[in-house]
Structure 1
Amino acid sequence: MSESEEVLRLAGVGKVYNPGTPQESAVLHGIDLRLARGELAALIGPSGSGKTTLLNLVGLLDSPSAGELYLQGRPTRELDDTARTRLRNEAIGFVFQFHHLIPAFSVLDNVLMPLMIRHGKPGAEDIERTRDLLVAVGLEGFAAKKAIELSGGQQQRVAIARALVTHPALLLADEPTGNLDTRTAENVFELFRRFNAQFGCAVLVVTHDQRLAAGCPRTVELVDGRIVGGAGDVSGSASR
C-alpha cells in the first residue's frame, strides 16, 4: 500500500508490564500490522491473547514498550499526554462493548460530545452533522430523548454515531456486539460495513463472534501476543 493510503502501522511493537520486577509480564511480542484507508478488519484470538492490550496501544490509550506505532504516518511513541490526547480526538473513533453514554444527556448531546471536547460549544454545522448521523443509524426521532431511555441496541447505535461524528481516519471497536442479541448484533455490524464504505475510514473490530469476523474482508488472529494469521500487510515477528 502507498503511504497516502496507510492509516495505521505497527512496527515491531511489544508491550511489557511491570518491567524489571518479579511481576514482569510480556503481553505483546514484535507486532507488525498495517491498516489502510477503507479497510475493514476483524481482530480475533482467545482470551488472554493480548487483543485488549493491542487495541489500547492502537487507540493511544497506552504506549508500547518497544517498537513504534504510526498513525497517519506520524510516530506516536514519544508523544506527551497532551499531544496524544489531541491526536486521538482528531483521528480515532471508539465503540466499546459497554457504550459509555452519559445517561442524563440527550442522544444529540451524547453524539456531539467529541466535537464539544474538540472546540467547545457546537456550531450549526456540528449539529447538522450529528443529526445526519442519527438519521443514518435510524434514530432521527430520538435526538431529544435521554440516553437512559433507549434500549441496548439503540444505545450502541448512538455510540457508533458518536464515534463517527469527528469523521475519524480510524474506527476501533472492542466487542461492540457482545451484549446484544443475534439480530441486533447483525444490524449493528451492518452499520460498521456501511460506514466503512461511506466514509472510507479504516475499521478494526475486536470480536469473539466468528460469524461477524467472517463478514470482514480481512481477519487478523492474535495468539499469545503474536499475530499468527491474517491477510494483506500483516505479520508477526520476534520470538520470546
Structure 2
Amino acid sequence: MSDRDAGPDVLRLQGLRKSYNVGKPTEVEVLHGLDLRLQRHDFAALVGASGSGKSTLLNLVGLLDTPTAGELFLLGEATRDMDDARRTALRGGAIGFVFQFHHLIQAFTALENVLMPLMVATGKPGREHIDRARALLAEVGLQGLEQRKPDQLSGGQQQRVAVARALVTRPALLLADEPTGNLDSHSAAEVFELFRKFNREFGCAVLLVTHDPRLSEQCDRTVALVDGRIASDTAKAGKTEPEKGARVN
C-alpha cells in the first residue's frame, strides 16, 4: 500500500460538466454539475439507464477525457488542466481498470499480461515487479498458470488475470466497467469477491459500473445517475453515509 493514498479523498468531483460539440449548433451537455467523493475503502456501484451518462463519467474519472467545466481531483490533484504527460502518468499509477471484456494480449502469457502496466511505465520489469505479479496471480487463484496464454484459460480465469493486471500498480482507485457482464454467475461471484478482497486489503476505492441489480445491492454504496445528474447517493445500513455536498439533487 502506498503512502500517496493516505489522504481522505481518493476522488472528488466538483461541479463536473461535460459537453460535446462545444460551440456548434449541435452542442449538447451530457453531465450537469456533478459533485461526488470517494474515499479509501469505499466500494460503490454506479448505476443508471443507457444514456444516463455513465460511460462519459467513467471516461472522465479514468482521465481518458477532460471535463468541459468543474474539476476532478484525483489524490488531491486537480486534473482538468493537466498536460498529457502528467495525466498519463497519474492514470497509470493511480487507477486500475477492469472491463467487461478482459482485453488480454493473446500472444503474452498470464504473467506478461499482468506485468504490462509496469512494462509501459518503467520498461523492462525488475525482479520486484515480477514477484509482485506472481503474488497477485496467486491471490486470484492462478498460481501455477502463470505461463499459460489467454486461449489456455477459461473466461473466468482470463478475467482474474485482468483483475491482477489492474492491481499490479497498487492503484488508489479501481474502476470496473460491467466487469462480470461476460461471465457465468459462479465466475461473476468469484470476481466480485476479488474486488472485495483487494478493497479491504489494499484500501483501494472501487467504483463499479453495472446494470446488474444483484451486484449493486452487494456494494456498500450506490450512486444513481439519471439524465446526467446524480439522482441519489445512498449507503447501505451500517455503512457511513456520503458526506453532505457529495450529491446533486
Query: Does the aligned pair in 2 maintain the 1:173–1:205 contact within 8 Å?
Result: yes
Q: CA deviation at 1:229?
A: 0.7
Candidates 111, 126, 131, aligned match of 2:129:
126
For the residue of structure 2 that corresponds to 1:108, the secondary structure is: helix
- 1:97 deviates by 0.8
- State the match for 2:3 in structure 1: none
Q: Given the alignment of the two structures, is residue 78 of structure 1 paired with residue 90 of structure 2, yes or no?
A: no
**Could you tell which deviates more after superposition, 143-152 or 93-102?**
143-152
Q: After the TM superposition, which of the residue ranges 99-108 and 146-155 deviates more from structure 2?
A: 146-155
| 1:135-169 per-position Cα deviation (integer Å, ceiling 9, x unaligned) | 11001121001122211111110000000000000
C-alpha deviation, 1:104, in angstroms = 0.9
In the alignment, the residues of structure 2 paired with residue 99 and residue 23 of structure 1 have an alpha-carbon distance, to the nearest angstrom, of 35
Give the structure 2 partner of residue 190 of structure 1. Answer: 193
Letter paired with 2:185:
T
Which of 41, 46, 68 is the aligned partner of 1:43? 46
1:188 partner letter: V
Inter-partner Cα distance in structure 2 for 1:138 and 1:22: 53
For 2:23, which of 9, 20, 23 is the aligned residue? 20
- Cα distance in 2 for residues equivalent to 1:148 and 1:70: 39
SS of 1:236's equivalent? coil
Corresponding residue to 2:59 among 35, 56, 64:
56
Which letter maps to 2:56?
A: T
Query: RMSD of the alignment, in Å?
Result: 1.0
The CA deviation at 1:80 is: 1.2
Percent sequence identity is 65
CA contact (8 A) 1:104 1:148 kept: no
1:22 deviates by: 2.7
Q: Which amino acid aligns with 2:35?
A: D
User: In the alignment, which residue of structure 1 is the partner of 2:144?
Assistant: 141
For 1:62, the aligned partner's letter is D
CA contact (8 A) 1:11 1:32 kept: yes
Structure 1 runs of 4+ with >2 Å offset:
none
Q: Kindly provide the CA deviation profile for residues 89-119 of structure 1, in whole angstroms up to 9, marking residues without a partner as x.
A: 1100000111111011000000000111111
Structure 2 unaligned residues grouped into runs of 5+? 1-5, 235-241
| Pair 1:10 & 2:13 matched | yes
Instruction: Tell me if structure 2 keeps the 8 A contact 1:8–1:36.
Output: yes
Q: Deviations over 1:72-91 (max 9, x none)?
A: 00000001111110110110
Q: Which amino acid aligns with 1:10?
A: L
Q: Which deviates more from structure 2 when the two are superposed, residues 14-23 or residues 169-178? A: 14-23
One-letter amino acid matched to 2:215: L
TM-score of the superposed pair, with normalisation by structure 2: 0.92
Question: Aligned to 1:95, which of 98, 114, 118?
Answer: 98
The question of 1:236 aligning with 2:248 is answered yes
Residues matched between the structures, number: 235
Contact 1:228 1:236 in 2 (8 A): yes
In the alignment, which residue of structure 1 is the partner of 2:226?
Answer: 223
Which stretches in structure 1 are left out of the alignment for 5+ residues? none
Take 1:59 and 1:236, find their aligned partners in 2: how far apart are those partners? 21
Kindly indicate whether residue 42 of structure 2 is the aligned counterpart of residue 30 of structure 1. no
